[in-house]
Amino acid sequence: MTPDRNNNMTQLNYLEPGLIDYRECWDRQEELLEQLVRNRSVNKTPTAENYFLLVEHPHVYTLGKSGDPGNMLITEEYLKKIGATFYRINRGGDITYHGPGQLVGYLIMDLEYFHIGIREFIWKMEEAIIETIGAFGLEGARREGATGVWLDVNDPVLVRKICAIGVRVSHFVTMHGFALNVNTDLNYFHYINPCGFTSSAVTSLQKELGREVEMEEVRTILKEKFNRNY
């Protein structure tokens, strides 16, 4: 994976390997995090070497360190039947699904370098996603008491989630990130309580717009919005 550097961008190095196994990508995140932490320690200063992985995954469910295993609604045997895997991981948040047609972004960033704390980091991530789906005519918003980006947030019946967020911070360096549903097979969410919510629907750009959306178009817009927000 070769970083994509652009003079018009911020100090984020983009890595875009396409469809990649979740475990392989998780290991890559850990390697990059350790690299940044080591650089901080050696140089005694925040590091400008920050990374942004934009990927898709085969069908997989991940459960955050404080998540409730009861939010996985199917057995290991049924997981195999639907061609999915399951991991307990070290991010915050509860359970979520990743799969083809979903744009997943992992930010390995030194928060001190960007002069922000974790709350502002997540706020900026949400803002970039809100602006991204706004480019497609959708009005996204934050929901009180929950991370991520939602539609019709003020309507308890119609509210639905289009982007999940879960992160981890170690020595001021972040990992994990967001999962934006683009052309995602939403049936896979039926097997979990997404992010621990038992009554909230999940949606995608494709479902909202009534058409398949070009993933490259979403990636291009999303990178521009993230570059502007960080």
The CATH number of residue 129's host domain is 3.30.930.10
Better pLDDT: 90 or 137: 137
Q: How many domains does the chain have?
A: 1
Domain membership of residue 3 (yes or no) is no
Please provide the average confidence, as pLDDT, over all residues in the chain.
Answer: 91
Predicted confidence at residue 5, as pLDDT, reads 40
Domain membership of residue 87 (yes or no) is yes
Domain membership of residue 65 (yes or no) is yes
Each residue's pLDDT tens digit, 133-152: 999 999 999 999 889 999 99
Residue 71 tokens, joined: 């939010």
Predicted confidence at residue 193, as pLDDT, reads 86
Predicted confidence at residue 57, as pLDDT, reads 98
pLDDT band at 6 (very low <50, low <70, confident <90, very high): very low
How confident is the model over 178-194, as a mean pLDDT?
Answer: 94
Q: pLDDT at residue 10 above 70?
A: no
Predicted confidence at residue 228, as pLDDT, reads 87
Phi, psi of 141 (to 5 degrees): -155, 165
Of the chain, the percentage scoring pLDDT greater than 90 comes to: 81
CA–CA–CA angle 88, 85, 207 (5° rounding): 105
Quote the domain boundaries for residue 64: 12-229
Q: pLDDT at residue 21 above 60?
A: yes
Pairing of strands 85-88, 60-63: parallel
Domain membership of residue 60 (yes or no) is yes
Q: Of 155, 169, 154, 162, which Cα lies nearest the Cα of 213?
A: 162
Domain membership of residue 59 (yes or no) is yes
How confident is the model over 29-58, as a mean pLDDT?
Answer: 94
Better pLDDT: 65 or 128: 128
- CA 205, chain centre distance (Å): 15
Contact between 175 and 30 (Cβ < 8 Å): yes
CA 36/CA 19 separation, integer angstroms = 25
Domain membership of residue 98 (yes or no) is yes
Single pTM value for the model: 0.91
pLDDT band at 196 (very low <50, low <70, confident <90, very high): low
How confident is the model over 31-39, as a mean pLDDT?
Answer: 95
Predicted confidence at residue 11, as pLDDT, reads 61
- Length of the chain in terms of residues written: 230
Query: Active-site residue numbers?
Result: 195
Each residue's pLDDT tens digit, 205-226: 999 999 999 999 999 999 999 9
Domain membership of residue 204 (yes or no) is yes
Domain membership of residue 7 (yes or no) is no
Contact between 191 and 139 (Cβ < 8 Å): no
H or E element, residue 34: helix 22-43
pLDDT band at 198 (very low <50, low <70, confident <90, very high): low
